[in-house]
Structure 1
Amino acid sequence: MDCVEQRSKDYDCPIYFVRDDYLARKYAGFPIPAELEKLLPEMHKLCSEELLHEFLGKQKDWKKNVHIVLSDLFSLILENMINYENPCAPVACDESFPIPLGGFSPLIFFFFFLVPSNITFYRVPQFHLYSCHDSSIMLLLFGLNVFDGCWPPFAADIIFELYTTASTSSSPSSPSSSSSSKLSIVQSNTLHSDNDNLNDLWFRLIYLGKPLSLKTLWDLSYSNHNHDLDHHQLSDYTMIPFKVLYEYINKAKQF
């Protein structure tokens, strides 16, 4: 019995250690056993489940615990999306370029606010770029109910986009060219949770270059939000009211 316990301590290792080693060899150009390639899809799922157990405990508590683990990150996202700068003196376009914070890692998480390309008279909201570990991306996706169960791939990224339905002086721009949307890309302003213009904001989440369906966060019967967007715009749930995200995260903090 002592021998078995000793072996488990010396030789047991998380599955994601094996995955990390495999991917490091793969992207460094080292040869990989062909049979291992067949196991990789299943390995992605097992690794993610294993890490969720480590971070969040028993599976029945995952939904509750993820908001405890991600509370600071969710607060950071909301704070930057709500409290962005007032219009100020004219600035050159290059002053609105991305502002990196910290070093870069293969897995990058970032969020930003879109602004009209023809608006150059105001300082636009900052582009926020953050680097993090792939496990952080996985937990963030899980916390927003959009996790597909697979470990994020190499150089994965998440983009948070903010749009407005308020009238602007510029021509409207929408995320879908085929839609007759009244959405326009958000301009510089200051927002607070109790402001009326918070109701004019819409949110989109892009993962690996594709908009994610946010149906689990909101449906069209949500009574607290009125909208004048056509059904085609909302049928895939890739665009939801920003206030839904705001209330979802704040409600989760009560756990």
Structure 2
Amino acid sequence: MPKIVILTGAGISAESGLGTFRDEGGLWAQHRIEDVATPEGFARNPQLVVDFYNARRAQAAEASPNAAHVALAQLEAAMPGDVLIVTQNVDGLHEKAGSSNVLHMHGQLDSALCAACDHRWEATLKMTVGQTCPACYQPTARPDIVWFGEIPYYMEEIEMRLSEADIFAAIGTSGNVYPAAGFVQAAAAYGALTVELNLEPSMVVSQFDETHFGPASETVPKWVEGLLKA
């Protein structure tokens, strides 16, 4: 069985109604990244940041997985232990679809983090400013989201898994955000076959061996079907 590492970005959840950075009229279009997705923004206006992620959390809680999420869960079920999803998404749609081997490199909406002691716990649907940590009792709760300027989670494990991968696929990613945009180069250097599945070519499309363009709900099930037939 080939070892497969799959990177997913906002494009895989767009068809579930969760907007990307670039969607006009979505939550992101109403705010500057500096205000809602940086430690400095949180320090300046914690209420704005908490309200923003409360809105995102409520939106994600209502969203359902689409055919792309379901297909990846079926792939994992058919190849237990050999499929890892590394997601830039903070929604829980992979898990809702049935995937269990998932690393959330940018954090999770349904998780809260203590800025004082790093304790994590399940976030309430509506977090509040100054919420108390259940471990150290400090009023230092924040959304468990990796903001711009912070180090993504699980980087050592991701690097190790990329070094072992026979296939690396990127689904619904822009190729704009590092370190994730560099994963294809790392995987290729270790000898993996690299595949991009995207609505349109990413910024790093030239580094992939194979490309499939179109909605994720169409391209991903077809790609998974091909893998399982091989």
TM over 0.5: no
Higher Rg of the two aligned structures: 1
Greater relative contact order (Cα 8 A, min sep 6): structure 1 or 2?
Answer: 2
So what's the TM-score if we normalise by structure 1? 0.26
